């Protein structure tokens, strides 16, 4: 997605889909973020103006996945502890759901629940493998499939198309069926949504590439990069959370069958590590066993 496209080309890709606007609080926070010396007090004050948002931030920060020793009871503490970037990442992730239509949300409760699980598992994987920005992994988990509800709202048959996508030849990409039937796909819609919301450029690229994984994980590609690391974390989290069952209604994770060994090797993990993670998350009510 690095190449610059014309406005007409982008309109063609978006297929008439209206990308939801970024909430004003995020615009205000990002403006503060660009200041030479961001005012933490002003940032906390902005967040506290939205009681629901402030409560959500505290809930996320106090979850087991952040692993903080002491309970955080104020927005000021949260901002000071996890930093402005971390707070903005959380707000971006939780805001995308609220910006979708009510009807779409009602129809996709399980989708949003799974996105939350993936974000939490991705955070833990990031910490375990020493990735220095677990907040980014959290945001990626919440945001990477944001194109799906937008496509659901645009195409009445999208759920059927998605099931076909996950049931295809594993040597093909999940998005190939979407491209053939819809002339667009959820990864590219997610990319332009993330760009519109001014998410970090790296994150936008990972969203665009998250079903191009064979390009990054095969025997001939040994190049390391932060993008590849985030892709590996995301794919492992998706597999643990049974994403293929929720979206594709499949009994097998065909994508993981092709890339799983390479992903684990790249992250410095083995099958035993994967099994232990699956057991640990299962105790928290997260994992593929919930969808059998």
Same domain, yes or no, for 154 and 260? Answer: yes
Residues sharing a CB contact under 8 Å with residue 58, sequence separation 6 or more, in sequence order: 72, 73, 74, 75, 78
> Cα torsion at 94, 96, 97, 99 (round to 10°)?
130
The two three-digit tokens of residue 111, written as one number? 């989708």
* Model confidence pLDDT, tens digit, residues 110-148: 788 888 889 989 999 999 999 998 888 988 998 999 999
Same domain, yes or no, for 48 and 63? Answer: yes
Same domain, yes or no, for 165 and 126? Answer: yes
Same domain, yes or no, for 110 and 195? Answer: yes
The two three-digit tokens of residue 225, written as one number? 């990069």
Same domain, yes or no, for 136 and 281? Answer: yes
Average of pLDDT values for 8-24? 70
pLDDT score of 156 more than 90:
no
Query: Cα angle vertex 110, ends 105, 115, to 5°?
Result: 90
Same domain, yes or no, for 238 and 199? Answer: yes
pLDDT at position 170: 66
99 burial type by CB count under 10 A (0-12 exposed, 13-18 middle, 19+ buried): middle
* Model confidence pLDDT, tens digit, residues 204-225: 999 999 999 888 887 666 678 9
Q: Higher pLDDT residue, 154 or 290?
A: 154
Last residue of a domain, which of 49, 66, 99? 99
At residue 68 the predicted structure's pLDDT band, cuts being 50, 70 and 90, is confident
pLDDT at position 8: 61
pLDDT at position 186: 93
At residue 288 the predicted structure's pLDDT band, cuts being 50, 70 and 90, is low
> Is residue 16 in a domain?
no
> Cα torsion at 10, 25, 233, 128 (round to 10°)?
170
Give Cα separations from 79 to 29, 44, 60, 237, 271 (angstroms): 12, 7, 12, 26, 37
> Is residue 49 in a domain?
yes
> Is residue 15 in a domain?
no
At residue 10 the predicted structure's pLDDT band, cuts being 50, 70 and 90, is low
> Is residue 1 in a domain?
no
> Is residue 90 in a domain?
yes
> Is residue 8 in a domain?
no
> Is residue 189 in a domain?
yes
Same domain, yes or no, for 210 and 153? Answer: yes
pLDDT score of 18 more than 80:
no
21 burial type by CB count under 10 A (0-12 exposed, 13-18 middle, 19+ buried): exposed
Average of pLDDT values for 36-60? 84
Question: For the chain, what is the largest distance between any 2 Cα atoms, rounded to a whole number of angstroms?
Answer: 53
Q: How many residues does the chain have?
A: 292
Same domain, yes or no, for 192 and 267? Answer: yes
The two three-digit tokens of residue 245, written as one number? 């069952």
Integer Cα distance of 288 and 274 in angstroms: 13
Last residue of a domain, which of 54, 84, 99? 99
At residue 5 the predicted structure's pLDDT band, cuts being 50, 70 and 90, is low
pLDDT at position 265: 93
Query: Cα angle vertex 155, ends 163, 93, to 5°?
Result: 80
pTM value is: 0.84
Domain that holds residue 258: 101-292
Same domain, yes or no, for 185 and 268? Answer: yes
Q: What is the CATH number of the domain that holds 158?
A: 1.10.3210.10
Give the count of domains, the chain.
2
127 burial type by CB count under 10 A (0-12 exposed, 13-18 middle, 19+ buried): middle
Last residue of a domain, which of 99, 133, 168? 99
Same domain, yes or no, for 142 and 86? Answer: no
Integer Cα distance of 60 and 72 in angstroms: 10
> Is residue 13 in a domain?
no
Give Cα separations from 9 to 95, 183, 198, 264 (angstroms): 28, 12, 20, 37
Same domain, yes or no, for 156 and 225? Answer: yes
The two three-digit tokens of residue 217, written as one number? 């994980």
Same domain, yes or no, for 38 and 159? Answer: no
Give the rounded percent of residues in the chain with a pLDDT score beyond 70: 86
């Amino acid at each position: 997605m690095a190449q610059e496209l014309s406005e007409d080309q982008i309109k063609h890709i978006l297929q008439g889909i209206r990308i939801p606007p970024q909430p004003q609080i995020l615009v205000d926070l990002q403006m503060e973020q660009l200041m030479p010396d961001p005012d933490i007090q002003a940032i906390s004050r902005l967040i506290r103006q939205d009681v629901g948002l402030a409560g959500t931030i505290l809930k996320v920060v106090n979850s087991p996945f952040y692993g903080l020793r002491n309970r955080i009871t104020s927005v000021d503490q949260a901002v000071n502890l996890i930093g402005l970037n971390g707070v903005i990442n959380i707000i971006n992730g939780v805001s995308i759901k609220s910006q979708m239509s009510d009807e779409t949300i009602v129809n996709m409760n399980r989708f949003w629940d799974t996105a939350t699980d993936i974000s939490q598992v991705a955070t833990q994987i990031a910490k375990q493998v020493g990735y220095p920005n677990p907040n980014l992994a959290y945001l990626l988990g919440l945001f990477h499939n944001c194109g799906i509800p937008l496509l659901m709202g645009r195409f009445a048959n999208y759920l059927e198309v998605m099931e076909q996508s996950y049931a295809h030849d594993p040597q093909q990409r999940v998005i190939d069926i979407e491209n053939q039937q819809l002339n667009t796909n959820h990864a590219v819609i997610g990319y332009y949504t993330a760009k519109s919301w001014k998410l970090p450029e790296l994150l936008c690229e990972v969203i665009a590439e998250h079903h191009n994984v064979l390009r990054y994980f095969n025997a001939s590609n040994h190049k390391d990069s932060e993008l590849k690391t985030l892709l590996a974390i995301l794919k492992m989290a998706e597999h643990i959370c049974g994403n293929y069952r929720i979206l594709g209604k499949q009994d097998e994770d065909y994508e993981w069958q092709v890339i799983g060994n390479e992903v684990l090797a790249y992250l410095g993990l083995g099958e035993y590590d994967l099994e232990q993670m699956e057991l640990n998350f299962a105790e928290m009510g997260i994992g593929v066993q919930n969808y059998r």
